[in-house]
Amino acid sequence: MAEAVVEFKQVRKVYRDPWLRRELLAVDGVTFQITRGEVFGLVGPNRAGKTTLIKMLLTLTRPTTGEVQRLGQPVQQRSTLQKIGYMHENQAFPRYWHAEGLLFYYGALTLMPEPTVRERVPKLLQQVGLSDRAHEPIRRFSKGMVQRLALAQALLNEPDLLVLDEPTEGLDLEGRQLVHDIVAKQRASGKTVLLVSHLANDVEKLCDRLAVIVSGKLQYCDTIQNLTQPKNQAKRSLETALQTYYPKTHA
Q: Characterize the bridge pairing of strands 73-74 and 65-70.
A: antiparallel
Tens digits of per-residue pLDDT, 68-107? Answer: 999 999 999 989 999 999 999 888 899 999 999 999 999 9
Q: Is the pLDDT of residue 215 over 60?
A: yes
pLDDT at 246: 87
Question: Could you read off the pLDDT of 108-138 as tens digits, one per residue?
Answer: 988 899 999 999 999 999 999 999 999 999 9
Which residues neighbour 158 within 8 Å (Cβ) at sequence distance 6 or greater?
120
pLDDT category of residue 1 using cuts at 50, 70 and 90 = low
**pLDDT, the chain, mean:** 92
Strands 65-70 and 4-17: antiparallel
pLDDT digits (tens, 9 = 90+) for 170-194: 889 999 999 999 999 999 999 999 9
Quick one: pLDDT at residue 251?
38
CA 84 to chain centre: 10
Higher confidence at residue 191 or residue 18? Answer: 191
| 37-56+76-250 topology per CATH | Rossmann fold (3.40.50)
What is the residue extent of each domain of the chain?
37-56+76-250
* CA separation for the pair 241, 237 (Å, rounded): 6
Q: What is the pLDDT of residue 250?
A: 43
Please write the tens of the pLDDT for every residue from 237-248: 999 999 989 876
Q: What is the mean pLDDT of residues 198-207?
A: 91
Average pLDDT over residues 28-38: 96
Half-sphere exposure of residue 47: CA atoms within 13 angstroms, side-chain side: 5
Beta bridge partners of 84: 161
pLDDT for 17 beyond 90:
no
Residue 206 has what pLDDT? 94
pLDDT attached to residue 198: 86
- Model confidence at 202: pLDDT above 80: yes
- 20 pLDDT above the threshold of 80: no
Whether pTM > 0.85 for this model: the answer is yes
